[in-house]
Amino acid sequence: MQATLLTPLPRATTPSTTTSTIKSLIPTHLSNPKRRISIRASSTETAPPLPSSSGTTDHLHKLNQYSSHITGPKSQGGSQAILYGCGLIGR
């Protein structure tokens, strides 16, 4: 998600000093109660690519066969859960 903060341009009272310019960019709730702030947000969702059915099943089965030996001990339960969550292990 992307968000953009839109505010009116501040009026710098003394442009020669950096401190006063920075202070004018930071509004306080008491300095100008009529100042309005608007926020725009947008998001985009992308779908993951669909796996092709040409030979990927054999590749995943071989990967599962080897990875199950590595993650076989109960001490490696987290790795087994990740493989299951990714769809590499069918129960």
Tell me which residue range forms the domain holding 16. 2-42
Residue 91 lies in a domain: no
Residue 48 in any domain: the answer is no
Residue 90 placed within a domain? no
pLDDT of residue 38: 75
Residue 49 is assigned to a structural domain of this protein: no
Answer yes or no: do 12 and 34 share one domain: yes
Instruction: Establish if 50 belongs to a structural domain.
Output: no
Q: How confident is the model over 30-56, as a mean pLDDT?
A: 67
Distances (CA, A) of 78 to 68, 70, 84, 85: 12, 12, 10, 10
* pLDDT on residue 79: 72
Q: How many residues does the chain have?
A: 91
pLDDT classification of 82: cutoffs 50, 70, 90: confident
Number of domains in the chain: 2
- Of 47 and 17, the one with more pLDDT: 47
User: What pLDDT does residue 63 have?
Assistant: 62
Q: pLDDT (tens digit, 9 = 90+) per residue, 57-73?
A: 665 566 666 666 655 56
